[in-house]
Amino acid sequence: MLPDEFQAVLAQQQINLSATQMQQFADYYQFLVATNEHLNLTAITAEAEVYLKHFYDSLTLAMVFPQLQTEALSLLDVGAGAGFPSLPVKLAFPQLQVSIVDSLNKRIRFLQDLAAKLNLEQVAFYHSRAEDFGSKRSSHRQSYDVVTARAVASMPVLAELCLPLVKKGGYFIAMKSSKGEQELAEADYAIKTLGGKVETVQQLTLPITEDPRTIMVIKKTKETPKTYPRKPGTISKAPLLDRI
């Protein structure tokens, strides 16, 4: 998917990118590839693949949750790596307030440099573990309208990392590939324990390759108990599963 095709396919979804926005995506691609030569950000570097598997794939978040297209929501991306999905969504819908938390400081520096290069406003980058970022002592706990993550961990783990950061009435949106529904079933106990309720599950395929995607929208209906998230290391070693 080359840039012109990217723009045309998005227009079919009523997402219309200006020449300025298209230039920002081009600058994003160039900076990503240049930085990737000395910092391992992505295994995907060919232009057509980046536009499809990173840029377009990221924007499926706003297709499934269209409030992101029009409302000035606060969006937190957990473990965004090279900025996916939140920064492509920010480029397309600049009214959003986007934050990224990542445990690797080198990636945070890349994102800060990228944001400056793209002249982005209302963006923030935090070097922290998600477990600490959402702890009961953190000012970020239960403070975001939308928290998202793209293939960072299994759903039971991801729910414990992300739901504590969602404000009551907000949403946790997980972006997964073909096994999303299976993971969601495994995460049922964790989601309920952490204050969430599954609202929608949408399956789609990427253009051209028809790679499957599953996007799960989980509403935060009650506050997360103060005992969660647990300490770093504990969540992945002993995920919240219904063992009855």
Cβ atoms within 10 Å of 144's Cβ, excluding its own: 25
Q: What is the predicted pLDDT for the residue at 182?
A: 82
Select from 189, 144, 150, 148 the least CA-distant residue to 168.
144
Task: With respect to residue 164, please indicate whether it lies within any of the assigned structural domains.
Answer: yes
Comparing CA positions, the residue from 210, 207, 209, 149 lying closest to residue 180 is: 149
The predicted structure's pLDDT at residue 132: 93
pLDDT at position 178 is 72
Residue 132 · residue 157 · CB < 8 Å: no
CATH of the domain at 209: 3.40.50.150
- pLDDT of 13 strictly over 60: yes
Name the amino acid, one letter, at 157: V
pLDDT tens-digit profile of 228-240?
999 888 998 999 9
Separation of alpha carbons 185 and 97, rounded Å: 31
Backbone angles phi, psi at 152, to 5 degrees: -85, -40
For the chain, what is the mean pLDDT?
A: 94
pTM of structure: 0.94
Of the two residues 145 and 244, the one the predictor is more confident about is 145
**How many domains are contained in the chain?**
1
Domain that holds residue 133: 58-237
Q: What confidence score (pLDDT) does residue 76 get?
A: 98
Closest by CA position to 40, among listed 2, 82, 95: 82
Q: In this structure, is residue 93 part of a structural domain?
A: yes
- State percent of the chain over pLDDT 90: 87
In a domain, 83, yes or no: yes
Check residue 162 and give its pLDDT: 96
pLDDT > 60? residue 122: yes
Q: Is 43 helix (H, G, I), strand (E, B) or coil?
A: coil
Q: Pick from 106, 119, 96, 98: which is nearest to 35 by CA?
A: 106
| Residue 26 within a domain | no
pLDDT at 243: 63
130 is in an annotated binding site: yes
Question: Was 37 annotated as part of a binding site?
Answer: no
Residue 193, pLDDT > 80, answer: yes
Predicted pLDDT at 179: 74
What's residue 20's pLDDT? 97
Task: State pLDDT tens for residues 19-51.
Answer: 999 999 999 999 999 999 999 899 999 999 999
Q: Is residue 188 part of a domain?
A: yes
For 42-100, what is each residue's pLDDT tens digit? 999 999 999 999 999 999 999 999 999 999 999 999 988 899 999 999 999 999 999 99
Residue 21: what residue type? Q
**Domain presence at residue 106:** yes
Q: Let me know if residue 33 belongs to a domain.
A: no
